[in-house]
Amino acid sequence: MKQARKRTKLGDTLSALVVASALVAPAPAVLAAVSGNQAPSASAENPCGPSNPCAPSGKKKKKKAGSDNPCGPANPCAPK
């Protein structure tokens, strides 16, 4: 009974979602090219690593474009 109610609720939400999704605008497309100082190089060693919460901020990171983990997690504990 409880399960059936949950299914009905999901069905209702889903119906509303189908209608609402028709009005969703596409997100801006990724830029085709960027200048070298805007983002880590695509050839970076770990292009999809998390930010290092203790790593230097973005500006310092740019100086280290050739470092091992250009896309590593941001490091909140690193010296500024």
Partner 1 sequence: MLAAAQRVAEVQLRYAQAGVGLAAAALAGTRQFTPMRHYPARDVRDAVAGTSFYYHAHLSRRRPEQEHGHFHLFVHDRAPVAAGKPAFFHLAGLSLDARGEPLRWFTTNRWVTGERWYDADTVLAALPNFTLEARGRRAPLARWLTAMVQLYTPQLRSLVQRRDEVIRRRLARQDAESLFEDRRLDVVTECAVSLPRTLARLAR
Is 53 an interacting residue with respect to partner 1 (CB under 8 A)? yes
Give me 58's structure tokens: 């973005």
Give yes or no for residue 46 binding partner 1 (CB under 8 A): yes
Residues forming beta bridges with residue 73, ordered by sequence position: 52
CA distance 70 to 39: 9
H/E stretch holding 42 reads: none
The residue count for binding partner 1 (CB under 8 A) is: 46
Is 77 a residue that touches partner 1 (CB under 8 A)?
A: no
The structure tokens listed for 74 are: 């941001």
**Is residue 78 a contact point for partner 1 (CB under 8 A)?**
no
* Minimum distance, C-beta of residue 23 to partner 1, in the bound complex (Å): 5
Cα gap 44→40, rounded to integer Å: 7
Residues of this chain that bind partner 1 (CB under 8 A): 3, 6-7, 9-11, 13-14, 16-18, 20-21, 23-34, 38-42, 44-51, 53, 58, 68-69, 71-74
